[in-house]
Amino acid sequence: MIKFMRKTIPVLVALIVLLTVFIIIAKLAGQKEQPSGEDPETTALLINTPGKESLPTVSPEPTDPPVETPTPEPQFSAVISPRLEGTGSEDIEISVRENLIEARYPYLKDEDLFSGMKLIVDGENIGYVEGQETGFEPWQLYPVKITDSQGLVKDFTFRFIPKGLNIPLVSIYTEGPVTSRLDYVSGTIYVNGDNTEGFKGKNIDGAGLKIRGRGNASWDMTDKKAYRLKLNEKSSVLGLPTNRDFVLVSNYFDKSLLRNVVAHSLAQQMEYLYYTPTHIEIDFFLNGRYMGVYTIADKIEEAKSKVQVYNGTNPDEPGFMIEIGWDYSKTNVRDKDYFDTDIIIRLFVKEPDIPAANSPEMMYIKNYIKKAEEAMVSGIGYDEYIDVDNMVDWFIIAELTNNTEMAFYRSCYFYKPEGGKITMGPVWDFDMAFGNHQGDIWDYNGWATAEATYHYVNDTWTTYLVKDQKFMDKVRARWLEVRDRLLETASRTIDEQYALVKDSAELNFSRWDIIGQQIGLGNVDYKVYDTYEKQVRFLREFIIKRAAWIDGRLGISN
């Protein structure tokens, strides 16, 4: 028995192995069908074994060809360090920004020196430099071609411009002196705001323009003149609306240099003053000479984006625009007749262009204004002729700023849109406002546009409106609505603009030494407010005091 088992066990083991192999082969053969929907041309190849089912195999994954690393392009390797040599070059800063080499000179620098200075480009990995070495003029762009030690070339541009402080630069060169308010002189304008946060990139490099004088006292009574600009092509200057016409306001009589900017910022808070020009503080140069701190602003005119007189709604009730004031040098306004009403004197029709004093257009304008004036005097039906909400907003701005010149005397505008009513504005000319005029009511004991005793303010339309309870109720309600907003705007604008202007103000009053002097009809005590900082403090305090007076007059308790 033992011998039998010894003989049969190996046989049984062999049979078990064979059976196991058979089972494995059978299972593999059962997987010969392809998965549903698979393309037979793309499945794994079958290897056929004679007498047996084909067994599936998996084809090897395709391999990507090796990626060739491109040879890097050679890079311009020169590191340049430009410098200037020559008389007067020691206080000029020179820098490189991208492809621009810029030499920035102090405001009071004699520009004639630049023609004798030499530009030298030193640095690392420089092969050679091509470009003009001497004979430079300010603002002009000069090409400079630099080759590095590898032979690669890079194009640069070089120029001289003033070393900006904190407000934009405007520089104008003319073909001759600007001596008239009537005759334009051709020239070229450069504008640069790259030294500022708010106007970076808003530049003009050499646009053509025409320039002439403007203003009355600011032209006839000062050497710091105001100007009117007319660009050859429409452009946006420092973000102002695209136009050809702009003005440069000298602010000579305003020792804070801020009154126009602050007042127009206040007026822009009033939604019923439908258009208010924007004033931007600038440093202004004329023919290479620093002229001081100016503001550049939109020109007041009839236009869709400004004062829209003609809108096509009702030609039977035509529109018009009136300026109140006169030209010191003539008996009429800009060579055209002005007219008076029973209350207001020296009204000039800016729009439309009136061919004759007795034309139908002029008669319509005079008759409409006459009826509106009679209604305001009587206190009955004036809302049929004037936009009352607009008049309320205009009155508040005129009174908070205490602008007696605006009191239907000079630099006062109103218009009537076609089919509409008389609308006050745009507001303008605040350099003598905020307590800076001898005609101001120094103790605040009266409305500046209605009750002032100075000859600037006689009877006006608001003289009668302030006696009308319905009108004053509207003024009181509106003042309560806007008072805090106006005071916050005034404080913020003074803070922001003073921080920007103070460095330029030092140069302005170096150019125009007037801080410690009586200027024109100025009313601010120059002996007490004998520094620029004190002049700004006076402006700030005046607004607070004037607002408090208005509160008391309207019966508002704090």
Please indicate, yes or no, if residue 40 is contained in any of the structural domains.
Answer: no
Same domain? 278 vs 354: no
* C-alpha 465: how far from chain center: 37
Question: Do 144 and 208 reside in the same domain of the chain?
Answer: no
d(CA 240, CA 202): 10
Compute the distance between CA of residue 431 and CA of residue 449 in angstroms, rounded to an integer: 16
- Domain contains 11: no
- Give a three-class secondary structure readout of 181-195: CCCCEEEEEEEECCC
Residue 341 tokens, joined: 């009403």
Do 125 and 236 fall within a single domain? Answer: no
531 and 395 in one domain? yes
Enter the tokens of residue 503: 């460095």
The predicted pLDDT at position 71 comes to: 80
Where does 404-525 show beta strands of DSSP type E? 412-416, 423-424
pLDDT score at 409: 83
Among the three residues 268, 298, 328, which one is the final residue of a domain in this structure?
298
DSSP 307: B
- Provide the 3-class DSSP secondary structure of residue 248: strand
User: b/e string for 10-43 if b means 16 or more Cβ within 10 A?
Assistant: eeeeeeeeeeeeeeeeeeeeeeeeeeeeeeeeee
Classify each residue of 200-215 as buried b or exposed e, where b means 16 or more C-beta atoms within 10 Å of its C-beta: eebebeeeebbbbbbb
User: 243 and 151, same structural domain?
Assistant: no
Indicate the angle between helix axes 388-400 and 259-267, nearest 10 degrees: 150
Beta bridge partners of 351: 321
| Dist CA 468 CA 466 (whole Å) | 5
pLDDT tens for each residue of the chain, 558 residues long: 444 444 455 555 555 555 554 555 555 555 444 444 444 443 332 223 334 444 445 555 566 667 777 788 889 999 999 999 999 999 999 999 899 999 999 999 999 999 999 999 999 999 999 999 999 999 999 999 999 999 999 999 999 999 999 999 999 999 999 999 989 999 999 999 999 989 999 999 999 999 999 987 778 788 899 999 999 999 999 999 999 999 999 999 999 999 999 999 999 999 999 999 999 999 999 999 999 999 999 999 988 889 999 988 888 889 999 999 765 545 544 445 688 899 998 898 999 988 777 788 889 999 999 999 999 999 999 999 999 999 999 999 999 999 888 888 888 999 999 999 999 999 999 998 998 877 665 556 788 888 866 555 668 999 999 999 999 999 999 999 999 999 999 999 999 999 999 999 999 999 999 998 888 777 788 889 999 999 999 999 999 999 999 999 999 986
pLDDT at 359: 84
CA distance 296 to 279: 6
Q: Is residue 558 part of a domain?
A: no
Which residues does residue 205 pair with via DSSP β-bridges, in sequence order?
190
25 domain residue, yes or no:
no
Residue 278 lies in a domain: yes
Range of the domain at 499: 320-553
What is the longest distance spanned by two Cα atoms in the chain? 154
- The CB density around residue 271, as the number of other CB atoms within 10 Å, is 10
C-alpha–C-alpha distance, residues 478 and 475, integer Å: 5
Residue 63's contacts (CB-CB under 8 Å, 6 or more residues apart) are: none
What is the chain's percent helix, strand, coil content, to nearest 5? 30, 25, 50
For residues 406 and 449, the answer to whether their CB atoms sit within 8 Å is yes
Cα separations (Å) of 286 from 178, 251, 255, 509?
A: 10, 16, 21, 17
Residue type, 6: R
SS3 393: helix
**CA-based Rg of the chain, rounded to a whole angstrom?**
40
Determine the distance from the C-alpha atom of residue 235 to the mean position of all C-alpha atoms in its chain, rounded to a whole number.
Answer: 13
Q: CB under 8 Å to 428, separation ≥6 — which residues?
A: 277, 300, 406, 411, 412, 413
Q: Pull the structure tokens for residue 532.
A: 């620029």
Q: Does any domain span residue 57?
A: no
Regarding whether 362 and 250 lie in a shared domain, the answer is no
**384 and 459, same domain (yes or no):** yes
Looking only at the bridges linking them, the beta strands covering 142-148 and 126-131 are antiparallel
Q: Is 406 exposed, middle or buried (0-12, 13-18, 19+ CB in 10 A)?
A: buried
User: Any idea what the CATH number is for the domain that residue 112 is in?
Assistant: 2.60.40
Name the residue type at position 172.
I
The string of DSSP codes covering 124-154 is ESEEEEEE--S---BT--EEEEEEETTS-EE
Residue at which a domain ends, from 266, 298, 330: 298
**Same-domain status, 158 and 178:** no
CA distance 158 to 143: 6
Amino acid occupying residue 219:
W
**Integer Cα distance of 211 and 534 in angstroms:** 34
Does residue 428 sit in the same domain as residue 533? yes
- Using the structure block, give the residue that is written with the tokens 């429409």: 234
Place of tokens 């067994």: 55
How do strand 412-416 and strand 347-351 relate by DSSP bridges? unpaired
- Are residues 367 and 292 located together in one domain of the fold? no
Q: Provide the pLDDT for residue 238.
A: 97
CA–CA gap between residue 49 and residue 55 (Å, rounded): 8
Query: Which tokens is 450 given?
Result: 């209605």
Of 162, 177, 202, the one marking the end of a domain is 162
Same domain membership, residue 505 and residue 372 = yes
Q: How many independent structural domains does the chain possess? A: 3
Is 260 a domain residue? yes
Please classify residue 382 by burial: count the beta carbons closer than 10 Å to its beta carbon, then call 0-12 exposed, 13-18 middle and 19+ buried: buried
Measured distance CA(483)–CA(481) in Å, rounded: 6
Shared domain check, 465 and 342 = yes
Q: Is residue 59 assigned to a domain?
A: no
